[in-house]
Chain A
Amino acid sequence: MTDAYDARDLVKTYKSGKVRALDGVSFRIEEGEIFGLLGPNGAGKSTLVGLITGLLRPDSGTLLLHGNDIVRRPHIATEIVSAMTQTSLPLGDLTVREVLRVTGHLRGMTRRDAADAAESLIERLGIAEVAGKLLNKTSGGQWRLASIATALIGDRPILVLDEPTNELDPTNRRMVWEYLRRLKQQEGRTIILVTHNVLEAERVVERVAIMHRGRIIALGTPGELKEQVDRRIRLEISLAPGAERPERDLALLGEVIPITDRHLVVLVPRGDVEAAVSRVVHQIGLERLDDFRILTPSLEDVYIEITGEAMEEAA
């Protein structure tokens, strides 16, 4: 595998150095990888997106895109990368179809190819009914899908998508994630996802960087990151109405975290899960429970724990 990106010690400041948006960021993204970029607001994600799309220049550090120095030659990024950012497109007075055709042509496609690709994307992303509508007149979700299609047209090997599923209904969200997964599998495109929606991102991302205050504070596969945090299994228990809370039995399973009178979470060491389940079934008894679930830590748990720790340290 070759590197799509190789970033070393990227520093970017604003306001004459008073605001340090990126503070020595280093990472590598492999070709054909789906890479997640997570972090709270103000973590430096948008600045990093600006750098990897060639829109911003770092104060220092190196950034290679397929071996090309895009700090010195940022225009190379325009041939290899396409991005969907949070900023509005200056194409609001064009119809969705025109937006796609014009963008495809500006990215170097012939007019015929751009028109064909536009129709294909309109169909695949389910926006046929708004294809003739001005982009400015579309709803939030339709606008989002049109923006995704705009990023996709032109056949760029690297896609950068900033919050692609915001404002989408659950059906369209699932469709977008599935589509991105197919793009990676069938076309080997490298996809960089910037998102707050950690739970959804977990389904598609292969590696994740968690950013906080201009630094990458965790980097790895979701599995690797989960290893770094609390590895205990979550036993979520909902007691039946009127059932007595089995304090003593539960305490034997692990650390008990009460959520409400009837709902509680027990953190059980990985090796004790089987015994814990047996104890719940046989000693507490299923008749005293409304619901009972076993959960491994999600990427969201990891994200909250890591960023929470970072915030505490900063405080």
Chain B
Amino acid sequence: MTTQARTLRMAVAPTGWARLRRALGTFGDLFFIQFSSVRTAWQWIFLISSVLPLGLLFFLSIVAAGAHRGMIVYFITGNVVVALMMNPLFMLSGQLAWARQSKAFDFYAGLPISRTMVILAAISVSVLFSVPGTIFMLIAGMALFHLWIVPSPLIVLIVLLSPTALSGLGASIGILAPNQQVAGVIANLVMVIVMFLSPIYTPLSRLPGLLQVTSHLLPPTYAAAGLRETLGGHISGEFWLDVLILAVFSLASIYLVTARLDWRSR
């Protein structure tokens, strides 16, 4: 193809279905690239994302033995939320920090693709790798507390939206941290702060006054509330509000990260 033809092709960019098909194809390739980079280490990702919530679960099963059903649901869902937070905060931040450090973004920036697609693919892989740990944590929690509940199928929405909503935070750490090591340290710090500022193990009313207000700004609050509804046997309007808020957090996350990642302006 001549340079003139190529320039002409750019002027006549695909529209409608052709554009969607091209976008899906690009997403598929980028997902494959990102997936490949973690497929050989999935066991480690699973182990690391399970250690902290599993430890917390054991601790709670000992100190809160004999807790009533309502509290047990808080413990189980709280741990699932912690498991859901691990990948977007640690895996995604580490991956993006490394990509910046090793100038891997130069490869993507040299291709006729949008950075939104690259970020979406990275987030999608991170969300996908959250699923096994989440299921494991749910089953482990029920087994430890001897409380077997069949969750509503709508739990899928929470499992997919919660890590996506937090991915903005993880991706921002990855993009802003000077290197992968610092990104890891910051992710740890953020994890602890977010975990203890959100009402994931206790009802909102038990948090100190100021935290009751600030917790509304954190996605885990809605993730935990939504999860509790899916285990409670009755889906109310509040569940859909939680889903909506998580969806808004997710979109805002992706938008903010994409806007900040200006790979051509260094």
Contacts and interface: CB of A to CB of B under 8 A. Distances in A.
Interface of A: 4, 31, 53-57, 66, 68, 74-83, 85, 87-94, 98, 102-103, 105-108, 111, 155, 157
A148 to B, nearest CB: 14
B236 interface: no
B104 interface: yes
Interface residues of B, number: 34
B3 A54 contact: no
Nearest to B113: A106
A66 B3 contact: yes
Contacts of A79: 6-7, 9-10, 112
Contacts of B216: none
B76 to A, nearest CB: 35
A55 B2 contact: no
A56 B33 contact: no
B108 interface: yes
Given A79-B6, A79-B10, A80-B6, A90 B108 contact: yes
Given A56-B264, A68-B7, A106-B26, A90 B112 contact: no
B111 A106 contact: yes
Nearest to A91: B33
Nearest to A68: B7
Interface in B232-266: 263-266
B99 A90 contact: yes
B37 interface: yes
Majority SS of interface residues in chain A?
A: loop
A54 B33 contact: no
A90 B106 CA distance: 9
Given A56-B266, A79-B112, 10 more contacts: A55-B109, A57-B265, A76-B10, A78-B109, A79-B7, A89-B104, A102-B32, A106-B29, A108-B112, A111-B25
B6 A157 contact: yes
A88 B104 contact: yes
Contacts, number: 93
A83 B109 CA distance: 11
B42 to A, nearest CB: 12
Contacts of A31: 3
A76 B6 CA distance: 10
A94 B104 contact: no
A177 B50 CA distance: 52
B181 interface: no
B1 interface: yes
Contacts of A94: 32-33, 36
Contacts of B106: 55, 85, 87
B110 interface: yes
Nearest to B37: A93
Contacts of B108: 90
B126 to A, nearest CB: 15
Q: List 3 A-B pairs, minimum CB-CB distance, nearest first.
A: A90-B104, A87-B103, A93-B36
Contacts of B19: none
Contacts of B99: 90
A54 B111 contact: no
A91 B107 contact: yes
A89 B108 CA distance: 9
Contacts of B26: 106
B104 A87 contact: yes
Nearest to A108: B112
A66 B29 contact: no
Interface in B1-16: 1-4, 6-7, 9-10
B265 A82 contact: no
